[in-house]
Amino acid sequence: MQDKDTIKELLLNYFKGSVSVIQKKWIDDWVNESPENEELFYVYLEEWERKNPQYLTDTEQAILNFKNKSESPFASNDKITSNQKSFKRSNFKLFLVASVMLFGLLFLGTFERITVKTYRTGYGELATVILNDGTEVFLNANSQLKTPRFTFLGKSREVQLSGEASFNVTHDAVNKFIVQTMNGLDVVVHGTEFTVYNRRHNTEVHLKSGKVELIKHSPSGSESVLMQPGEKMRMENDGQLKKEMVQKPEEFASWKEHRYVFDKTSLSEIASLMNDNYGVEVEILGDSINDLTLSGSFRSEDAKEFANAVAQVLGISMEINDKRFRFFENE
């Protein structure tokens, strides 16, 4: 077991691309051991980035140059002056530095970890993320968002979501914004406000404003569906898309204010929500209360407060044993 200072020194060398293959393997294994190790990895990475700002510029430029090979420093048939030649040689040197850095990352196997930024929230935690195009993302509890660390490349702005998030996308008529989910459903927009829920192999998209195109990918091909404001689309386990209109689309993301809105929501569904958002086990004792439904809204920032409110409204009892919550009939 390495001490914290040794690990930090090793990681800083890792970011510089100056570790051996054996050290690289040890770091990869260490990062994958626990979420805490992975979080520490990114803490040190961001610290190193702040101290090495040119790394961000050079690496981003290298990625762009490799993505757009036609933009080679020598790709020109025009006549150039001696000053222009000198300028191009200088640019080419910078390009070589960045390219060597990029190849080093590829060789060490750190390319994805360095170029992809992962945002995570824990149980009961909310977070706001501003992407490099100005898009606002509000992450619900127990959620994960993967984005490019440097800039969006190509003609689309692609992110990956696991969990639940609300998006306020910066308008761009040329470069569409795509939210990729775990079960093959892509949400394609140019500028709009919507919420995506992606848990338990189910995906829901709630559209507040603008227009959204859903693209479902499957072995047999792709299916495209357009959504209008106020619509809710759900993809079930069997891959079928179901659309419905809702009365108050602004309540889709009420969780951003720690407010929960229910409309004939069963106790079993509420138990699943508690597990997703707070990481607690919920047991419902007695079939007679399993299908009780709750309508209304209330604010809550922790699992105990939430469970007490549910029990009070439904007229049932609740007890807590460690992290296991039990709902049961009043005696």
Comparing 275 with 250, the larger pLDDT belongs to: 275
Domain end point (choices 197, 215, 249): 249
Instruction: State both tokens at 188.
Output: 């394609």
- How confident is residue 24, by pLDDT bands cut at 50, 70 and 90? confident
- How confident is residue 89, by pLDDT bands cut at 50, 70 and 90? very low
| For residue 105, pLDDT beyond 70 | no
Q: Are residues 218 and 146 in the same domain?
A: yes
CATH number of the domain enclosing 309: 3.55.50.30
pLDDT at residue number 79? 43
Q: Which long-range contacts (CB under 8 A, 24 or more apart) does 49-56 make?
A: 55/15, 55/101, 56/150
Q: Could you give the CA distance from residue 313 to residue 295 in angstroms, rounded to a whole number?
A: 9
Report the pLDDT averaged over residues 112-122: 78
pLDDT digits (tens, 9 = 90+) for 211-262: 899 998 888 788 888 898 889 999 877 778 888 887 776 677 788 888 888 8
Q: Are residues 144 and 98 in the same domain?
A: no
pLDDT at residue number 114? 64
- How confident is residue 125, by pLDDT bands cut at 50, 70 and 90? very high
Exposure of 261 in the CB half-sphere (CA atoms within 13 A): 12
| For residue 153, pLDDT beyond 70 | yes
Comparing 219 with 131, the larger pLDDT belongs to: 131
Report the pLDDT averaged over residues 139-151: 88
**What's the mean pLDDT when you consider all of the chain?**
79
Comparing 90 with 203, the larger pLDDT belongs to: 203
Q: Are residues 126 and 100 in the same domain?
A: no
Q: Could you give the CA distance from residue 284 to residue 287 in angstroms, rounded to a whole number?
A: 8
pLDDT at residue number 281? 92
Q: Are residues 137 and 103 in the same domain?
A: no
Q: Are residues 218 and 264 in the same domain?
A: no
Q: Could you give the CA distance from residue 176 to residue 152 in angstroms, rounded to a whole number?
A: 11
Comparing 154 with 204, the larger pLDDT belongs to: 204
| For residue 39, pLDDT beyond 80 | no
pLDDT at residue number 205? 92
Beta bridge partners of 46: none
Report the pLDDT averaged over residues 278-286: 91
Q: Could you give the CA distance from residue 253 to residue 274 in angstroms, rounded to a whole number?
A: 16
Specify the amino acid at residue 177. Answer: F
pLDDT at residue number 275? 92
Q: Could you give the CA distance from residue 258 to residue 298 in angstroms, rounded to a whole number?
A: 8
| For residue 159, pLDDT beyond 60 | yes
Number of domains in the chain: 3
Range(s) of the domain holding residue 102: 4-115
Q: Are residues 194 and 242 in the same domain?
A: yes
Q: Are residues 243 and 134 in the same domain?
A: yes
CATH number of the domain enclosing 238: 2.60.120.1440
Comparing 279 with 76, the larger pLDDT belongs to: 279
pLDDT at residue number 314? 92
pLDDT at residue number 57? 52
Q: How far is CA 285 from the centre of its chain?
A: 35
pLDDT at residue number 246? 78
Report the pLDDT averaged over residues 65-73: 46
Q: Are residues 104 and 163 in the same domain?
A: no
Q: Are residues 149 and 242 in the same domain?
A: yes
Q: Are residues 140 and 85 in the same domain?
A: no
Comparing 244 with 126, the larger pLDDT belongs to: 126
pLDDT at residue number 138? 95
Domain end point (choices 60, 92, 115): 115
| For residue 91, pLDDT beyond 70 | no
Report the pLDDT averaged over residues 41-45: 81
* pTM, two decimal places: 0.69
Domain end point (choices 197, 216, 249): 249
- φ/ψ of residue 153, rounded to 5: -110, 150
pLDDT at residue number 187? 93
Q: Are residues 127 and 204 in the same domain?
A: yes
Q: Are residues 48 and 95 in the same domain?
A: yes
Nearest to 138 by CA among 127, 123, 146, 148: 127
